[in-house]
Amino acid sequence: MNFRLVLLGFGNVAQGLAKILIEKRAQLRRDFDFEYEIVGVADIVKGSVMNKAGGLDLARLLSLASEKKTLGDYPGGTKGLSSIETIIESDANALVEATWTNLKDGEPGLTHIRTALNEGLHVVTTNKGPIALAYHELAALAHQRRRHLRFEGTVLSGTPAISLATEALAGAKVSSIRGILNGTTNYILGEMEDGRTFDEALKRAQELGYAEAEPSGDVEAWDPAAKITILANVLMGGKVKLAEVRREGISGTTAGDVREARLTGRRIKLVAKAYEENEQIKAQVVPERLAETDLLSHVSGVLNALVLSTDVQPDVTIIGPGAGGDSAGYALLSDLLALNRALTTVKGSAKSRYYRPAYAGGILRDIF
């Protein structure tokens, strides 16, 4: 099918997707009948450009970004529309939402997603804010508007987490979840094992670009708390609120704590968990002293890991990159391909030479 895409936010992740879309255009067409054109891009700092008749040249958009020019420098197209105007006026059929994560009120991503669904667009996003804060509302809106909302990249970036459970493990009931969902803190804890203090390890993480100048989202565990909220609500049917997640970061963890744990054959890891207690789904993120027999204790550096316990498969573990523009860009592509399968697969007539799993959340074949 032909996707007419609007990109909101043209930072690392959207540019990661853009590179993959350019590199893989022929492969996507050949193997998946996946065609695309970019009909609009809007970004707070870089400006906006829309061309609903002929589409935009992605390579040109990427060069403008790398030359630090604005989208206003794109030759042709309609300039200066806001994000909302771009959604409404571009005649797009899908929104790629990759603006910055805001865990206080989810904005501006929340309004972007609501508007797009109301306007009849499917939505793929890597933005944790709207999904952590308003998953049930957005899922209900998508259902009501008969549109798809996918957000693979919100957890574990391009390493499958949501689709691992909902598609690869379709039919299995997730009974509990454990994971290392934040690479920055995992890196810092590893550096502390190598003898650095918390401050030295944080500084190194900042120099390497793993940690923000304002690091509280990571070290105070807001980021993994948002991710475990998403997993608890999406995979376990929870009604978990981010503000109520038991959350303890690693800023209180000292080099002495890390050394002492090593002396007893243990490792301190920031572990996110979702579990059922008194018929309620609960979530927490807390540093734990893990025994060496625990697979999570061996996940090092900026890697992320997720262990899903289900009724039919005791523990399924996936380990992989949990951040990076290219990785999260790939997550967006995997969501677009899933959307393509869901919208084009007709029973018994799948054209792809590859296996196409069924869409695990609904049947939408009659939209375009």
Active-site residue numbers?
Answer: 227
Exactly one of 153, 160, 179, 224 binds ligand NAP (CB under 6 A); that residue is 153
Q: Which of residues 315-354 bind ligand NAP (CB under 6 A)?
A: 323-325, 328
Q: Which is nearer to ligand NAP, 113 or 236 (CB)?
A: 113
Smallest distance, ligand NAP to C-beta of residue 20, A:
14
Q: Tokens 């399968």 map to which residue?
A: 341
By CB under 6 A, is residue 90 in contact with ligand NAP? no
Pure H helices in 194-296:
198-207, 216-219, 222-235, 255-263
Smallest distance, ligand NAP to C-beta of residue 333, A:
13
Contact 90, 51 (CB under 8 A): no
Interface with ligand NAP (CB under 6 A), residue total 26
Torsion, Cα 301 329 12 134, to 10 degrees, reads -90
Q: Which is nearer to ligand NAP, 304 or 344 (CB)?
A: 304
Smallest distance, ligand NAP to C-beta of residue 157, A:
4
- Residue 75 CA to residue 361 CA, distance in Å, equals 41
Exactly one of 5, 6, 13, 319 binds ligand NAP (CB under 6 A); that residue is 13
Site string (38-77) toward ligand NAP, x via CB under 6 A: ----xxxx--------------------------------
The gap between the terminal CA atoms of the chain, to the nearest Å, is 9
CA 260 → CA 132, 251, 264, distances in Å?
35, 17, 7
* Helix H or strand E segment including 4: strand 2-8
By CB under 6 A, is residue 290 in contact with ligand NAP? no
By CB under 6 A, is residue 163 in contact with ligand NAP? no
| Binding segment (CB under 6 A) for ligand NAP, from list 69-77, 95-103, 140-148, 281-289 | 95-103
| Binding segment (CB under 6 A) for ligand NAP, from list 96-104, 310-318, 339-347, 351-359 | 96-104
For the purposes of burial, counting CB atoms within 10 Å of the CB of 350, is it exposed (0-12), middle (13-18) or buried (19 or more)? middle
Smallest distance, ligand NAP to C-beta of residue 361, A:
21
By CB under 6 A, is residue 127 in contact with ligand NAP? yes
**DSSP for 313-346, written as a single string:** SS-EEEEEE---HHHHHHHHHHHHHHHHHHHH--
Token pair for residue 341?
């399968």
Q: Which is nearer to ligand NAP, 90 or 344 (CB)?
A: 90
Exactly one of 11, 55, 320, 357 binds ligand NAP (CB under 6 A); that residue is 11
Q: Which is nearer to ligand NAP, 287 or 325 (CB)?
A: 325
Which residues have C-beta within 8 Å of that of residue 332, sequence separation ≥ 6?
Answer: 13, 14, 16, 17, 96, 98, 124, 125, 126, 152, 153
Binding residues (CB under 6 A) for ligand NAP: these are: 8-14, 42-45, 83, 98-101, 108, 126-128, 153, 157, 323-325, 328
